[in-house]
Amino acid sequence: MTATSDVQSPGSGTIYDPATGAIAGTVRWTDLDDVPRIAAGLRAAQREWEARGPQGRAKVLARFAVWLNDHRDEVEALLVRETGKSMVDAKVEIPLAILIISYVVKTMEKALAPDTRPAPMPMLSIKKITVHYRPRPVVGIIAPWNYPVANALMDAIGALAAGCAVLLKPSERTPLTAELLLRGWTDSGAPEVLALAQGAREVSEAVIDNADFIQFTGSTATGRKVMERAARRLTPVSLELGGKDPMIVLEDADVELAANAAVWGAMFNAGQTCVSVERVYVLEPAYDAFVEAVVKAVQNLKVGAGEGHHLGAQIDASQVDITERHVNEALAAGARALTGGKRPDGPGSFYPPTVLVDVDHSMACMTEETFGPTLPIMKVATVGDAVRLANDSPYGLSATVFSGDVKRAKDVALQLDCGAVNINDVLANLMCTTAPMGGWKASGIGARFGGADGMRKFCRQETVVEPRTSAGAGGNYYHNSMKALARMNTVLTKVSLIRSKRTAK
């Protein structure tokens, strides 16, 4: 269940715990007419925030990290109440946010410093060329519900570090956690460069219309709409969209390790993770042992919200409906469920962890994003078959390869059409803040993280060309002789052609 009131209208709404149906809290939805005013306030505050420089902003971000750690129990309890997560799932979000902050505060001064570029040819060495990174005033972040802390902050931290103000539009399913994070930002003594816009589609549209950059995380279908809306004002976007992430298990893999990784990667957060393991291709010699180990691991999982459980509820009944449809269609087409496979009776939007075998690409469970606790496993004859099937998808977010030979696994990885590949592990790329995290094909545009690029993406580049000396200035202006201009053009042409001919040999 979500709010009882219409989220498109001003007023208050009630948020319910997906695991119990109990009231998790209330929220006041943002009036659409207020969004331009909020954005204008951020735009005004951003100027002073930028002027603090990287060192000044780093101190504020560091204080916020301390607040997150000090209030971790409070945040995690709210996460469980608002999303129905198990405590195992809830406990990963704050550490990830702190990890990102710790990396950013150490590297932001260097990352945002002007770049000095070399002269393209000796005669232009009289010029000094620098590229400056100027923050976009207001970054709009439209965040999803599956990780209300991590998915909001992993983008907001980079934008704030860059000197931008941030207008965060959390999912209308998880608005309460965002309000707690805003309280933490304020309690850290931070300026008013972080604000919320609470609501659903129309509020998202207002954020797009009033921001200078949009970071969106969510479905591919909604991502297209975000991009179309942003195009009206030529507002740049970065999109992390859907995925159907494959796992390939070669015949020489450590089957026990691979099986436990598959279960963790598929079932974590009830399967509601953008880089979840959503389908597995196992080479025939390893297939039986792998399936047996997977089933054993899944049977040990405890389903329920909060402490003492491995995986919690899905966010609401509509998400369970998708999982149930994928499983039922697969079963009707000849697949078998070795665990789970049936929606339970009783309260809460739960679905049991379900292992499916005898599956193929005619089934939605292998081709459509499920975003639920399912693990379909397909036997394949060759590595080539595994690669071909893994790439047979409109998505390309991430993937996993297991093999006893890391070089062989890397060779397979570089044949996969996706933004990241984990070898002999799952989900690990989420922790790699120095490398880009982005999708290919229908899984997105742009990337998160990426070292310096994770902050520079929120900036505009400004090139400044300044003189090192007054010599040569004006040599090709109209008031000089045509002979001087001709000599200049001759030199430029000759130097360029010499370089081209050398390269062409």
User: What residues act catalytically?
Assistant: 240
Residue pair 422/257 in contact (Cβ under 8 Å)? The answer is: no
Residue 501's Cβ-side half-sphere holds a number of Cα atoms within 13 Å equal to 6
Q: Which of 350, 326, 155 is nearest to 244 (CA)?
A: 326
- Kindly report the number of other CB atoms within 10 A of residue 475's CB atom: 12
Q: Which of 455, 503, 487 is nearest to 61 (CA)?
A: 455
| Phi-psi label, residue 73: left if phi above 0, alpha if psi -120 to 50, beta otherwise | alpha
**Structure-token pair, residue 246:** 């494959």
**Structure-token pair, residue 49:** 């925030």
Phi, psi of 35 (to 5 degrees): -60, -45
Task: Name residue 376's beta-bridge partners.
Answer: 356
State the Cα–Cα distance between residues 289 and 63, nearest whole angstrom.
49
Residue pair 418/399 in contact (Cβ under 8 Å)? The answer is: yes
**Structure-token pair, residue 180:** 């707690």
Q: Residues 349-358, buried b or exposed e (16+ Cβ, 10 A)? A: bbbbbbbbbb
Query: What single DSSP character describes residue 146?
Result: S
Task: Name residue 380's beta-bridge partners.
Answer: 283
State the Cα–Cα distance between residues 431 and 417, nearest whole angstrom.
21
Task: Name residue 25's beta-bridge partners.
Answer: 15
Residue 138's Cβ-side half-sphere holds a number of Cα atoms within 13 Å equal to 27
Residue pair 91/76 in contact (Cβ under 8 Å)? The answer is: yes
Residue pair 152/168 in contact (Cβ under 8 Å)? The answer is: yes
Q: Which residue has the tokens 């965002």?
A: 178
In sequence order, which ranges of 163-246 are alpha helices (DSSP H)?
175-187, 201-210, 220-231
The Cα-based distances of 387 to 246, 280, 359, 409 in angstroms read: 9, 11, 17, 11
Packing angle, helices 93-111 and 72-83, rounded to 10: 120
